[in-house]
Structure 1
Amino acid sequence: MPLTADAAADGAPASVRTRDAVYRPSHPLDLRRTVGMLRRGPGDPTMLFDGPVIWRALRTREGSATLALRQTEGEVHATAWGPGADEALDRLPALCGADDDPQGFDPSHHPLIAEVARRSPGIRLARTGEVFDALACAILEQKVTGLEAFRAWRLLVTKYGQRAPGPTPRPMYTAPTHTEWRAIPSWDWHRAGVQPPQSRTIVRTASRGDSVSRALLAAESGEDRDRVLTSLPGIGLWTSAETRIRALGDPDAVSVGDYHLAHEVGHVLTGHRTDDDGMLELLAPWAGHRQRVIRLIFASGISEARRGPRLSPEDNRNR
Structure 2
Amino acid sequence: MLGDMHEDVERCVRAVQAKDDRFDGWFFTAVITTGIYCRPSCPAVPPKPENMRFYPSAAAASEAGFRACKRCRPDTSPGSPEWNHRADVVARAMRLIADGVMDREGLPGLASRLGYSARQIERQLTAELGAGPRSLARAQRSQTARVLIETTALPMSDIAFAAGFASIRAFNETVRAVFALTPTQLRARRAGAPAGAPGTIALRLPFRKPLNPDNLFGHLAATGVPGVEEWRDGAYRRTLRLPHGPGVAALRPGPEHVALTLTLADHRDLGVAIARCRRLLDLDADPVAVDDLLRADPVLAPLVDKAPGRRVPRTVDGAEFAVRAVLGQQVSTAAARTLAARLVTAHGEPVADPSGGLTHLFPSPAALADLDPERLAVPGARRTALTALVAALPGLDLGVGSDWTEARARLADLPGIGPWTIETIAMRALGDPDAFIPGDLGVRAAARDLGLPATPGALTARSAAWRPWRAYAVQYLWAAGDHAINHLPGKDLT
What TM-score do the two structures reach when normalised by structure 2? 0.53
Counterpart pick for 1:47 among 229, 247, 259: 229
Given that 2:216 and 2:310 are in contact with CA atoms closer than 8 Å, whether structure 1 keeps it comes out as yes
Aligned mates of 1:43, 1:209 — CA distance in 2? 20
Given that 1:81 and 1:165 are in contact with CA atoms closer than 8 Å, whether structure 2 keeps it comes out as no
Identify the structure with bigger relative contact order (alpha carbons < 8 Å, sequence gap 6+): 1
Closer/same/farther in 2, CA of residues 132 and 274 from structure 1, 3 Å limit: same
Closer/same/farther in 2, CA of residues 51 and 112 from structure 1, 3 Å limit: farther
Number of aligned positions between the proteins: 294
Given that 1:226 and 1:237 are in contact with CA atoms closer than 8 Å, whether structure 2 keeps it comes out as no
Given that 1:66 and 1:165 are in contact with CA atoms closer than 8 Å, whether structure 2 keeps it comes out as no
The structural deviation recorded for 1:243 is 0.9
Given that 1:262 and 1:275 are in contact with CA atoms closer than 8 Å, whether structure 2 keeps it comes out as yes
Aligned mates of 2:399, 2:206 — CA distance in 1? 31
Compare 259-268 and 67-76 and name the one that shifted more.
Answer: 259-268
Given that 1:216 and 1:228 are in contact with CA atoms closer than 8 Å, whether structure 2 keeps it comes out as no
Counterpart pick for 1:90 among 268, 275, 279: 275
Q: Note the residue ranges of structure 1 that are not aligned, 5 or more in a row.
A: 304-319
Closer/same/farther in 2, CA of residues 164 and 172 from structure 1, 3 Å limit: same
Residues 1:75 and 2:257 aligned together: yes
In the other structure, the counterpart of 1:120 is 307
Given that 2:348 and 2:364 are in contact with CA atoms closer than 8 Å, whether structure 1 keeps it comes out as yes
DSSP 3-state at the match of 2:278:
helix
Where do 1:182-221 residues align within 5 Å?
Answer: 182-189=369-376, 193-213=377-397, 217-220=401-404
Aligned mates of 2:399, 2:247 — CA distance in 1? 25
Aligned mates of 1:93, 1:18 — CA distance in 2? 18
Where do 1:149-188 residues align within 5 Å?
Answer: 149-188=336-375
Counterpart pick for 2:298 among 111, 115, 118: 111
Given that 2:442 and 2:478 are in contact with CA atoms closer than 8 Å, whether structure 1 keeps it comes out as no
In the other structure, the counterpart of 1:317 is none
The structural deviation recorded for 1:196 is 3.5
Closer/same/farther in 2, CA of residues 168 and 246 from structure 1, 3 Å limit: farther
In the other structure, the counterpart of 1:147 is 334
Given that 2:327 and 2:339 are in contact with CA atoms closer than 8 Å, whether structure 1 keeps it comes out as yes
Given that 2:439 and 2:455 are in contact with CA atoms closer than 8 Å, whether structure 1 keeps it comes out as no
What TM-score do the two structures reach when normalised by structure 1? 0.79
The structural deviation recorded for 1:43 is 5.6
Given that 1:181 and 1:203 are in contact with CA atoms closer than 8 Å, whether structure 2 keeps it comes out as no
| CA shift digits 1:219-278 (9 cap, x unpaired) | 25xx544223212333121111111222133222122433443232222244xx722123
Aligned mates of 2:321, 2:305 — CA distance in 1? 30
More helix by share: 2
DSSP 3-state at the match of 1:184:
coil
Counterpart pick for 1:254 among 427, 436, 443: 436
Given that 2:212 and 2:311 are in contact with CA atoms closer than 8 Å, whether structure 1 keeps it comes out as yes
DSSP 3-state at the match of 2:285:
coil
Closer/same/farther in 2, CA of residues 268 and 57 from structure 1, 3 Å limit: farther
Given that 2:447 and 2:477 are in contact with CA atoms closer than 8 Å, whether structure 1 keeps it comes out as yes
Given that 1:64 and 1:83 are in contact with CA atoms closer than 8 Å, whether structure 2 keeps it comes out as yes
Where do 1:28-43 residues align within 5 Å?
Answer: 28-39=210-221, 41=223
Q: Note the residue ranges of structure 2 that are not aligned, 5 or more in a row.
A: 1-75, 79-145, 163-197, 484-494
Amino acid in structure 2 at the alignment position of 1:66: V
The structural deviation recorded for 1:128 is 2.7
In the other structure, the counterpart of 1:2 is 77
Aligned mates of 1:20, 1:243 — CA distance in 2? 30
The structural deviation recorded for 1:171 is 3.3
